Structure 1
Amino acid sequence: MNKTLVIFGRQPALGLAEIESLYGADTVTPIGNHGAIIDIDPNQFDINRVGGTVKAAKLLTQLEFTDWQKLSDYLVEHVPKHTCCIGPGKLLFGISTYGLQTNQKAIERTALSVKKAVRQSDMRPVRVIPTKATELSSAQVLHNKLAQPPLGMELLLVQHGDSVYLAQTVGVQDIEAYAARDQARPKRDARVGMLPPKLAQIILNLAIGDLDAHIGEVILDPFCGTGVILQEAQIMKGFDVYGTDIDPRMVEYSKANLEWLHQTHQIGTNYFRLEVGDATSYQWDIMNAVFCIACETYLGRPFAHTPDPETLHLVMNDVNTIHKKFLQNVAKQTSKGFRMCIAVPAWFINGSFKHLSTLDHLEELGYNRLSFKHVDNKSLIYHREGQIVGRELVVLVRK
């Protein structure tokens, strides 16, 4: 059976947890620090469905050596054997490496050697896409059509221990589509935080938990803000969405953004429901129809600089109180097995993260925190360099 090799984004742990959630731990094998192999055919993997994977590829072979010169010789010998069978046309070619002891210049020399070998083999014109690092960016792969075989060819070489996996890219994250639907939305508000669509997808997939959820299922976001999670749920698989927020202005923003989405995108459903409501006390009257909850909760006060201990203590206490009441409220309205993924604040202070104390009392509140086979829960924090407040992704199942 063909297998799929995936390369994760800036924070691989998030992508790995997402893939494990959707495909099951026994179907996924992490490789190196950058990716994983999934026991599915590449044609079954929808890269537009996931937020934490930047490249998807067809696994070609596993090589039992890691020396770059040997790898280079292998490519020069074997690539022409493939290209002589793919029909006429110019070949667009690139190489990306992950974890290997090599450099940009060596990779470029190998690519040019492959170009020469292909031209000698079947007189085919070849254009090499030069790397700016040891791997091609998603933008380079997208714009140069390297994920469109047979005439677009990016080869991935991923080191795992004493071997190297060789794969050919068949899908790449569409960064232009993300930017378009993020920046073109009519209503945005930096004051309440800007949830990236890719992170929204990860939160959704961790909440949904498998690939078998059907169109027409209802996903609830009790802190809907400007509607990013609701938007991504409808794009992803045509889920019906239900959003509430304590701020009437945010509810209006979500309404405008979802109406815009339905005018500009082909999606499987037009159904959405929006209401003003405090997540710590609101009664969602269709909760019995809700499939799961996916949300970014209240992150508290934003900090541009490290706060003094007293200020941080006050903010954390305030946020903890809100989260405790929210989880108690949801527990009253859900039954055993109900699943949710919530993005909660984690504060990066003096080189380490401070977590919500509420997370230490989840069982008392009626929940089990889901653990992953391949990822430590402590690594599921979305955080950028220089940020004080990160987002910790917590997957909960009602006891």
Structure 2
Amino acid sequence: MTDSARAAVEGRWADGPAGPDAVLLGFVRALRAAGVDASTERLYAFLRAVDVLRPGVRADVHAAGRATLCGGRDDLERYERVFAAYFGPAGGSVAPPVRTAPAPRTRLALRDAPSGARAADGSEPPGRPALALASSAEVLRHRDVGGLDAAERAQLNRLLAAFAPHGQTRLSARRRPARRGAVDPRRTVRELLRRGGEPALLRRHARVRRPRRMVLLVDVSGSMAPYADALLRFAHAAARRTPTEVFTIGTRLTRVTRELAHRDPDLAMAALAAAVPDWRGGTRLGELLREFLNRWGQRGMARGAVVVLLSDGWERGDPELLGTQMRRLHALAHRVVWANPRKARPGYVPLAGGMAAALPSVDVFVEGHSLAALERLAAVVRGAAAVDPAGAAVRRGAERA
């Protein structure tokens, strides 16, 4: 792709939610979050294919996406799941463009292809009927989870079910045969012996990359009640893709990795609700983090792992205890990430005792209030730098009180 074409595509990502391209671009973001390798080149091909076909017809957009965004069989199943969650079931009617105050939340962005939609001469039907409306899924990506109604939460749950964040990888001590890499002396000598001492090609090997363990500590106290369900569904999605241990923290520390092993997210949430006794209670972050480190973390679970704390940082106990335990955790873990839903509020400053004490031991401090924020969190877990909407990198200590 040329530099001018790439710049044009990246510029279209900046369209507002009401722009006609925002629906398709938000759909590609959801595909990336589900694990589909939808590169910028594939995005550009997708947009060109939709422009050639009928942009407002569901079947044409579906076919264009399958042909341009999917790179293999594994992508097809994820594509179908995300398409159904993002655009809704087939057969939906087209919502007319309504302009009322305040700004409307429009519904379906695509319509099903009617019979005989093309004219006899093959020309396109006039107008761009539905794609000019922003999809509710794209609007929903940036909405605060704590302010969603029941219907919006159901749609958010469908999008989170299609979510498949990838974790980091690490080099293990094991090696495998490879075309490039260090010389494998044993295999090379065996090959020489097999040939009777005649010269042979050097055999090489390379270190194997394995997924790095991820540990999620999810706050289920009363102050985190509006966000706990979405964050636990994010944990369920993460556990499907990478070795993950999940704990809930409130007044008790509960290991819920086994409950989240159910493939169906609703069954997993039901099992988790029965296993966690301290929903909507208080918060004892310092004491529970000490318990986690003494029972699991110090013995190996946190060593070299990416540890993610999803909490607002409210601490009923001694903040100094939390600061001490965070320093212990930081010494063990490969990376410590803190996702705070309150961080997205205008004028937020981490002045709460627990948050202020923990931040010096946090590598990356990000938001966790919306689906878009969880997508950025997944990128941070994968190893990318955390970037806020304004484009500034969020590094350790950048927001210390």
| TM-score in same-fold range (> 0.5) | no
| TM-score, length-scaled by structure 2 | 0.38
TM-score by length of 1: 0.38
Which has the higher relative contact order, 1 or 2, with Cα contacts under 8 A spaced 6 or more apart? 1
The structure whose residues are more often strand, as a share, is 1
